[in-house]
């Protein structure tokens, strides 16, 4: 019987079965950032333990980094303490650090792939739930907590339970104005925010196969919002083309051997899945969250739901969300006035996201009442965007063009909402208080939809804004 990619990678990385019945799993790549590592290093230090594989560990700073004034010491003393702590820890334990003054710094889930660190067939762990992003390369990648960060530093291993695999097939072509962000929002809407608990999601089907690596990363990034800690896409020619020539990817003959091995890691044609769902791409519309969890979304042409439309367990959540967001059932989501437009985050801050947003804003201007910012996902993305003149397009349109970091996705840095502001955001979470104001409100959508909303000053259907060039994918 054939195996899924998950089974193959799991079996290859199993060190042994523990007395508890958990698997001791070797972690091929450990990514570290400043928020979830200080306590882990302290735990290591106090037990006198060394880092076992410093050469399989890479660090960067992203969550607390200011995107405007990045001079050291940071104005925020707590942020300065955290970056200093990471610097000390990386120095003491011999871990490469892509620091704020490095050309390679950026959001950890943007730089791993850029550097060629993220590769098919690996197990990848990081103290951040959006580690699922790296699954786009056919890796088994997942978020861990601080104590587990300590475990990986000490042993390069984790004690874990295996998960089941649900294959999610998406077939057909996406309509113009519909993007990979809409696909994953729709998946979460249908399967629910806890639908994936206990599962890894394998995204498959011709729609997925036609996607670029950046589009695939958007999909895998939000797996955790659907409850699935792991989400992946089988590696293929698109994956290998992306990887070839990356700084830390294999070279020459080694690349050819790697490609053969990577190919072999894909799920076998006769692999068996614990569950399977199929979605038709043509049915997916630009999608906007209206509520307080990523599953509470509607198509941009639809209206905000009534509590009675959902069964009991969900309807209380709808009522709570309506009250917090100050929305009314039956109200169209289109036309919702926004105060802030944010293009950024590990979900959507890569070059293709910026290109598409720039295409929409070119020749237009941000509505007078809207504060709009674009935060490239890494210094590399920023420089590439500037070489193409995207920064000028954004600035001329009235957007702020910032330095690389997590920014307003979670507001552990100066970029945050104020008061009851509503933000059209290309990020991944709309929980209460997520973007830095306890009463701030978040509407998740694709970067193209954020761009369209910034210009219109309200949620608007990007399909109406796009030039009739229309590419089906």
Partner 1 sequence: MMTTRQIDRLQGRPIPLRGHDIDTDRIIPARYLKSVSFDHLEQHVFEDDRKALEGRGAPPHPFSDPRYSGASVLVVNRNFGCGSSREHAPQALQRWGIKAIVGESYSEIFFGNALAMGLPCVSLSPEDIEAVLAEAEAHPDRDVTVSLSARQVTAAGRTFAATISPTAREAFLHGTWDAMGLLLDDVDQIKAVAAALPYVRGF
Q: In the block, which residue shows the tokens 């980094």? A: 65
Name the phi and psi angles at 344, rounded to 5: 170, -170
State the minimum distance, in angstroms, from the CB of residue 406 to partner 1.
10
- Rounded to the nearest whole angstrom, what is the least distance from the CB of residue 414 to partner 1 in the complex? 11
- 321 or 385, CB closer to partner 1? 321
Instruction: Indicate the residue among 410 and 422 with the shorter CB distance to partner 1.
Output: 410
Instruction: Map residue 332 onto helix, strand or coil.
Output: strand
Residue 204, strand partner residues? 169
> Would you say 427 and 345 are in contact if contact means Cβ atoms under 8 Å apart?
yes
Compute the distance between CA of residue 374 and CA of residue 386 in angstroms, rounded to an integer.
12
The contacts of residue 52 (CB under 8 Å, 6+ apart) are 153, 154, 155, 156
Alpha-helical (H) ranges within 244-378 are 252-265, 312-325, 351-361
Report in angstroms the alpha-carbon separations of 463 from 218, 286, 451, 466.
Answer: 20, 8, 12, 5
Cβ 134 to partner 1 shortest distance, Å: 14
By beta-carbon proximity to partner 1, the closer residue of 74 and 394 is 74
Looking at the Cβ atoms of 123 and 378, the one nearer to partner 1 is 123
* Residue 357 Cβ vs partner 1, minimum distance, rounded to whole Å: 25
Choice between 138 and 398, CB closer to partner 1: 138
Taking the complex as a whole, the smallest distance from the CB of residue 187 to partner 1 amounts, in Å, to 16
CB 278 → partner 1: shortest distance, Å?
25
Q: How far is CA 408 from CA 112, 329, 437, in A?
A: 21, 28, 11
Least Å distance, CB 330 to partner 1, is 23
DSSP 334: T
DSSP code, position 194: T
Give min distance, CB of 159 to partner 1, in A.
Answer: 4
Q: Please, which residue, 145 or 457, has the CB nearer to partner 1? A: 145
Half-sphere exposure of 463 (CA within 13 A, CB side): 17
Angle at 395 between CA 390 and CA 398, to 5 degrees: 130
Q: How far is the CB of 387 from partner 1 (least distance, A)?
A: 31
- Between 163 and 448, CB nearer to partner 1: 163
Question: Which bin fits 226, alpha (ψ -120 to 50), beta or left (φ > 0)?
Answer: alpha
The C-alpha atoms of residue 329 and residue 331 are separated, in whole angstroms, by 5
If the CB atoms of residues 12 and 277 are measured against partner 1, the closer one turns out to be 12
Task: With beta carbons less than 8 A apart as the criterion, state whether 174 and 284 touch.
Answer: yes
Q: Which is nearer to partner 1, 148 or 267 (CB)?
A: 148
């Amino acid at each position: 019987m054939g195996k899924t990619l998950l089974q193959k990678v799991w079996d290859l990385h199993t060190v042994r079965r523990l007395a508890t019945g958990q698997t001791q799993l070797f972690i091929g790549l450990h990514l570290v950032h400043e928020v979830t590592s200080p306590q882990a290093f302290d735990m290591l230090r106090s037990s006198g333990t060394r880092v076992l594989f410093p050469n399989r560990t890479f660090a960067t700073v992203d969550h607390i980094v200011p995107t405007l004034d990045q001079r050291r010491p940071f104005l925020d003393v707590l942020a300065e303490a955290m970056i200093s702590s990471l610097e000390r820890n990386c120095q003491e334990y011999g871990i490469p650090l892509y620091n704020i003054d490095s050309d390679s710094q950026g959001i950890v889930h943007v730089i791993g792939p850029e550097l060629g660190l993220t590769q098919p067939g690996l197990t990848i762990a990081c103290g951040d739930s959006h580690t699922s992003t790296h699954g786009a390369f056919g890796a088994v990648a997942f978020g861990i907590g601080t104590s587990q960060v300590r475990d990986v530093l000490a042993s390069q291993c984790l004690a874990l339970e295996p998960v089941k695999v649900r294959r999610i097939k998406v077939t057909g072509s996406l309509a113009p104005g519909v993007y990979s962000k809409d696909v994953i929002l729709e998946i979460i809407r249908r399967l629910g925010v806890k639908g994936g608990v206990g599962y890894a999601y394998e995204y498959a089907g011709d729609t997925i196969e036609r996607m670029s690596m950046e589009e695939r990363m958007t999909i895998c990034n939000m797996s955790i919002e659907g409850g699935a800690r792991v989400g992946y896409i089988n590696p293929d020619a698109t994956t290998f083309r992306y990887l070839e020539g990356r700084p830390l990817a294999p070279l020459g003959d080694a690349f050819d051997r790697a490609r053969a091995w990577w190919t072999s890691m894909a799920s076998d044609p006769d692999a068996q899945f614990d569950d399977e769902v199929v979605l038709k791409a043509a049915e997916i519309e630009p999608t906007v969250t209206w509520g307080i969890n990523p599953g509470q979304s509607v198509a941009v042409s639809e209206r905000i739901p009534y509590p009675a439309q959902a069964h009991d367990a969900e309807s209380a959540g709808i009522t709570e969300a309506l009250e917090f967001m100050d929305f009314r059932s039956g109200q169209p989501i289109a036309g919702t006035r926004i105060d802030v437009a944010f293009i950024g985050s590990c979900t959507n801050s890569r070059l293709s996201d910026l290109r598409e947003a720039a295409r929409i804003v070119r020749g237009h201007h941000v509505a007078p009442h809207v504060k709009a910012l674009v935060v490239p996902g890494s210094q590399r993305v920023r420089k590439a965007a500037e070489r193409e003149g995207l920064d000028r397009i954004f600035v001329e349109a009235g957007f702020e063009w910032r330095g690389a970091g997590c920014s307003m996705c979670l507001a552990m840095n100066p970029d945050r909402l104020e008061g009851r502001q509503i933000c059209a955001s290309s990020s991944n979470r709309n929980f209460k208080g997520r973007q830095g104001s306890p009463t701030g409100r978040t509407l998740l959508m694709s970067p193209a939809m954020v761009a369209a909303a910034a210009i219109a000053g309200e949620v608007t259907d990007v399909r109406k804004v796009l030039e009739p060039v229309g590419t089906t994918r």
